[in-house]
Chain A
């Protein structure tokens, strides 16, 4: 070997070593697409804040596998087409190892084919049950499903010795999906749906629909929707003087619902995550510490009240970080396997036990039944 060749090979070896050292310190890229603006912004905004807040905290504590996390967030504005475009960008140009995002069921479902094909683990923050049923190899979700909400509500209705339900739902995404789930599980819970009324998103008056429910012999009213619709329904129920118990879904689980519905919200029941009643949880509740920690951290840094939606993002990020650490790698398949093996993870949404057939891992105990009393949430059980 002549001298010159030796020099070249030494130089290239040095270069190679330098390059791999750089790779070791390279951050782990986590992608996200959220509806930070648009109609679902009240979900997407706290989700984004939470991801940024906790990625910062994790990095300050030394990162994951000795590497920093790098978060790439896109705002899809609630538009499923945008969500798909951003998912493609996350895969192809940002080369992320995993995705935590998807504020709504529609945006999530638009991105699923892209991420599944690229074999990138995807933890969705949306409620729809179709995200994990049937199970898709790389798709997970953290929030409770609308089906669980129906089951929890129906169980409570039965507990009161009632069985005739008047359903009123929005024709859009979440409301439509929850309505279908409620219709599907009603019979199994001994519930008879005696009225099935609907309203369009953005409708400002639901008295015609409620008037029909009034004449249907319903014993309770169940409203499936999120945003301003439930506030209008709640006010209209009061306006019409309907003395029937009113159930809302976990979609209204934020303080703004109580503000919007005003005194009419008194006595409304809803299934919701432990977050809303963090202080009221008994001390031996395994979720109490996690939920209180998140609440304190969020409220002290963001100057706004905590919501369960940001909690879904917290759960998603923590599940992912745990899985990456357990897998000891950023390989998609290995992270996926580690996610599937999640057992006993205590999140803000509940205690998560995943399996190859359950990519959400929550059961009905994750939902608490709350009632609005004196303008605030009261934990019933």
Chain B
């Protein structure tokens, strides 16, 4: 039992970060059909900017806020300088543009910050909580709670605000959205900004557990993308489910099967799921209208 709970929390904590990255992928994909491989860099910026602002003497909440702002600015600039000028290019071209942007952001981070790993103090102490014989870090609860709050906030925004409805309308049919007077350019910029903010918050929450460096974004982007595919790209609920599932798969594969092949096991399961359900667990079937 203790082992089960331990693995469960290990998987959920890692999975929550994957879920946030996958959510970022989904938002931008919905609004623009662009798969933004620079998504992991937002997580990196969240962690790194907070670390350096905190070291410079800013209180932690202020440092975190600054980090979110930097990430949002980066997201908006990414849209304005890289995606917008390439408007009308094929999806593959746009994906390559985002990969290029991620390399640029990583390179700049390496210059502006440094090449070392950094840690942040845990928000509410390092003493693990005991739950059914398992040891859980309070920070894990921050990560899980933070992720839940983001998902809920995003749902509210999408369902209850006019701007959120505009985003959904653009996702559903861009031309129709433009015809009813929605500024789709603004909506797209908004999608990048919100994605960046979500990634940055994720990065801030996990840094006390996972540490951070300028290079952490690459792996997260891959894992987050896998999670988004698993859940069904374009579906926010699917992204969260895919992320949590991927984290759990990794933890249980490491704990019960073989830690050497845990990533292999996780990706094997993803492949099998995609064989059976090519659109992911919750993805909607793409319908070609003639």
Contacts and interface: CB of A to CB of B under 8 A. Distances in A.
List of 9 A-B pairs having minimum Cβ-Cβ separation, nearest first: A204-B210, A208-B255, A208-B254, A41-B115, A228-B117, A202-B219, A198-B260, A207-B10, A197-B259
Interface of B: 3, 6-7, 10, 13-14, 17, 110, 115-119, 126, 128, 135, 137, 206, 209-211, 213, 215-216, 219, 251-252, 254-255, 259-260, 262-263
Contacts of A42: 115-116
Interface of A: 37-39, 41-42, 45, 171, 197-200, 202, 204-205, 207-209, 211-212, 215, 227-228, 231-232, 235, 238-241, 256, 259-260, 262-264
A202 B17 CA distance: 14
Nearest to B10: A207
B254 to A, nearest CB: 4
A327 to B, nearest CB: 37
A204 B119 contact: no
A232 B255 CA distance: 17
B215 A231 contact: no
A102 B11 CA distance: 37
A205 B10 contact: yes
Contacts of B252: 208
B135 A198 contact: no
Given A205-B10, A235-B209, A240-B6, 6 more contacts: A37-B110, A197-B259, A205-B13, A208-B6, A211-B7, A228-B213
A256 B260 CA distance: 27
Nearest to A262: B119
Given A171-B260, A204-B210, A212-B255, A259 B119 contact: yes
Contacts of A41: 115
B259 A205 contact: no
Contacts of B17: 204
Nearest to B130: A241
A260 B117 contact: yes
Given A204-B211, A205-B209, A239-B137, A211 B255 contact: yes
Contact of A211 (B6, B206, B263): B6
A209 B126 contact: no
B110 to A, nearest CB: 7
Contacts of B213: 228
Contact of B126 (A202, A208, A260, A262): A262
A231 B13 contact: no
Nearest to B254: A208
A198 B265 CA distance: 14
A198 B259 contact: yes
B118 to A, nearest CB: 8
B255 A241 contact: no
A205 B10 CA distance: 7
Given A42-B116, A259-B119, A209 B215 contact: no
Nearest to A40: B115
Nearest to A200: B263
A205 B14 contact: yes
Nearest to B9: A207
A231 B251 contact: no
Nearest to B110: A37
A177 B7 CA distance: 28
Given A45-B115, A202-B216, A256-B116, A212 B259 contact: yes
